[in-house]
Structure 1
Amino acid sequence: MNDSLHRVIREKFPAVETKLNEPLSLHTSFKIGGPASLVLFPGTTEELSGLYKLLLKERERPIILGNGSNVLAPQKGLDRVIIITTRICGIKISGSFLTADCGATLSRAGVLAASEGLSGLECLYGIPGTVGGALVMNAGAYGGEMKDVVLRSEFLNKDGELCSYTGAEHGFGYRTSAFKAEDLILSTCLELTESEPFLIRDKMNSLMEKRKTSQPLDMPSAGSAFKRPQGGYAAELIERAGLKGFKIGGAEVSTKHAGFIINRGGASSDDVLKLIEHIQKTVLNQFGIELTPEVKILS
């Protein structure tokens, strides 16, 4: 990334904060990752769209990050432009419809929906991601997924053109959607159902307690390390393989939930990648099942 691009961005978008050689460990839930050449922090969807189009014009394909809660960044860093969307976090509610900007968190959306007596986000409450990231991967937990509530989404495609999906056009599947890697989510509209606020809050609190007792929420991780294999659960297979607590460097299979790889302290991206590979080989050898990582590897 050359200095002239940084100067152009500063001139055209003076309100956007920019950081050179910013450690990605500060922007991922794994707390792992070396410096990125340039990190941008737009505060509005207009700034986000303008930056994306400018970067495409300059033949620079940026990496888009929300909370960085499902990614692994390389220890050596990245000679790439990173756009952090967490400052673009507006949420509007009209009747039973909730419209959220890409950088709004699922938890905040759930809290606001509950305060208005709108149900549908309880199962997603506590997932530490943003609406944009959750939409792309069809995030879900405890029987609920984004696909259950998404009505319409706006995004920019790889050419910077404004596009939208409605309903089935999203192409939702298990931890997947019709969105391409180059698409930039701007916002999404969710259709919720009316209910009593106290009932919604009770369910949210109950599921949050369940998370706290069963998941290592106090340790840096990227959530579930592997997608659920057909007919079973990755965590169960990993535990049956005797890998609970297994470590490589600072990366460890959580003793609380075998489906999580945690940063026990000072873990590198190589530690995590080697641990993922060891888990995959062990489970395949013992059970003949291939585990697919759910964590996105940045490159």
Structure 2
Amino acid sequence: RGALISLRGLDRAVCAPAENGRFRIEAQAGAALGRIVGLAADHELTGLEFCAGIPGSVGGAVWMNAGAFGSEIKDVLVFADLIDGEGKKKTLRREEIAFAYRKSNLPANVILCAACFSLSKGHPAQIRDRMAEILKWRQEKHPLQYPSAGSVFKNLPGMPAGRLIEELGLKGRRLGDVQISKKHANFMINKGQGTASDMLKLIRLVQETVQKERGFFLETEIVVIGEES
């Protein structure tokens, strides 16, 4: 079935009161996650502060159950609107979606259109202070001065992936213009002309080293789109 998609309104977001003193923000999947975090703060709503500084869109955050500091998107999600593989519009409530660490069971052949989040009224200063604290932490810990795809590997129970990579002596390893960051070993940064092929080779090097030295497979958090070489 063919489809005609208008780009107007793909980044729209609306804030409205809900029942039991809660508030809802409904956002199109194309809206920048940071914009929704800011919108919540502007309306003195708490619950999305953990997303401060996470790049990407609302749709991507829901799809991979983005999270940080002990909180995840599933904790505040009410429902998601989508178009299924047959071209039909559907609404799935939070309870109908199986979320896990950095993933959901949303099938690959659906288009995520919008999401609704449930938030509560908070203290404006506390919300802003928490966001500032998180952003400062990211600035100090993450290599934000270089392009990257964010955290490459999923953390293990009781062992952050970055610490494991560092313990195995791979911090700073470079292939072409893609380098395992010296600032945070779970980031691979582009030093100039890095390619997807360079990054995939570096990912495999890390996985093979972990498999050989520790005896288990380190799963990626990023999603690879397109053909792998």
State the shift of 1:43 in Å.
2.3
Listed one character per residue, the Cα deviations across residues 57-105 of structure 1 (whole Å, up to 9, x for unaligned) are: xxxxxxxxxxxxxxxxxxxxxxxxxxxxxxx111100021111010111
Q: Does 1:92 align with 2:57?
A: no
Q: Does 1:212 align with 2:139?
A: yes
2:187 maps to 260
State the shift of 1:283 in Å.
1.4
Question: Which residues of structure 1 form unaligned runs of 5+?
Answer: 1-7, 17-41, 45-87
SS at match of 2:26: strand
Listed one character per residue, the Cα deviations across residues 132-184 of structure 1 (whole Å, up to 9, x for unaligned) are: 01001001111111011000111001111111111211211111112111111
1:228 maps to 155
SS at match of 1:294: coil
Question: Which residues of structure 2 form unaligned runs of 5+?
Answer: 18-22
Listed one character per residue, the Cα deviations across residues 114-139 of structure 1 (whole Å, up to 9, x for unaligned) are: 11110000001110010001001001
Q: Does 1:115 align with 2:42?
A: yes
Q: Does 1:148 align with 2:113?
A: no
Listed one character per residue, the Cα deviations across residues 21-59 of structure 1 (whole Å, up to 9, x for unaligned) are: xxxxxxxxxxxxxxxxxxxxx223xxxxxxxxxxxxxxx
User: Of 27, 37, 61, which aligns to 1:134?
Assistant: 61
2:8 maps to 43
User: Of 75, 86, 93, which aligns to 1:166?
Assistant: 93
SS at match of 1:192: strand
Q: TM-score, normalised on structure 2?
A: 0.92
Query: RMSD across aligned C-alpha pairs, in angstroms?
Result: 1.5
1:73 maps to none
Listed one character per residue, the Cα deviations across residues 277-299 of structure 1 (whole Å, up to 9, x for unaligned) are: 00111111111221111111111
Q: Is the 8 A contact 1:169 1:178 kept in 2?
A: no
The within-5 A match list for 1:160-199 is 160-199=87-126
1:284 maps to 211
Identity score, percent: 38
Code of the aligned partner of 1:291 = L
Listed one character per residue, the Cα deviations across residues 204-261 of structure 1 (whole Å, up to 9, x for unaligned) are: 0100000000001111100000111244211111000011100011110000000001
Code of the aligned partner of 1:253 = I
Q: Which whole-Å CA distance do the structure 2 matches of 1:219 and 1:144 have between them?
A: 26
Structure 1's consecutive aligned runs of 4 or more residues displaced over 3 angstroms after TM superposition are none
Code of the aligned partner of 2:45 = L
Instruction: Provide the aligned length of Structure 1 versus Structure 2.
Output: 220
